Amino acid sequence: MSRKVVLYIAMSLDGYIAKEDDNLDFLSLVERPGEDFGYADFQHTVDTLIWGRRTYEKVLTFGDTQYLHKDKNVYVLSRSKTGREGHVQFYGGNLKELIATLKQQPGKDIYCDGGGEIVAALLQEDLIDRLIVSIIPHLLGSGIRLFRDGRPEQHLSLKKTLTFPSSSLVQLWYDRVR
């Protein structure tokens, strides 16, 4: 079975993954003690992570090393930075070639966590196999959109929906129909 590229991400109800200044405070609106919305289980299905440079730099500000995914192969896409920082590999090459290479290697699925530019590039090249989108019950009004204009049409099939009544979060799982 081929490895899948999986987008696992949260957005506001009006489609934003962050405010213009990369502020993610709205995500805390759904935090509940002991509830991770299936994130830990999802982490067992992936062994490789793809981030954009801005997302990686944002994660570094969290101060919690669990978000650095030291147990996974991490690729940070960057036009300017090269080499390695610990377990993180900076990659400035062709995204389509990276995905093709990763899919040919044995392993678990490949997790994309953003940001907006990386999601747009993956969608533009039709490289996402599964989308897991958590809808935060909040209207940001403006910010960084999850789905940018100008990408090709892609048909999706709903695999499951999860609802979390205590936070009003809804999680949608779609597979790309090919």
Q: Along the 178 residues of the chain, how does pLDDT read in single tens digits?
A: 689 999 999 999 999 999 999 899 999 999 999 999 999 999 999 999 999 888 888 888 877 666 678 889 999 999 998 899 888 999 999 999 999 999 999 999 999 988 899 999 999 999 999 999 999 999 999 999 999 999 999 999 999 999 999 999 999 999 999 9
- Give all domains of the chain, ordered by start, each with its CATH number: 5-176 (3.40.430.10)
pLDDT at 64: 67
Say how far apart CA 169 and CA 137 lie, in whole Å.
Answer: 6
pLDDT at 71: 87
pLDDT at 59: 83
Q: Which amino acid is at 157?
A: S
100: left (phi over 0), alpha (psi -120 to 50) or beta: alpha
pLDDT at 67: 66
Say how far apart CA 55 and CA 43 lie, in whole Å.
Answer: 18
Nearest Cα residue to 5 out of 91, 135, 96, 69: 96
> Considering just the CA atoms, what is the radius of gyration of the chain in Å?
16
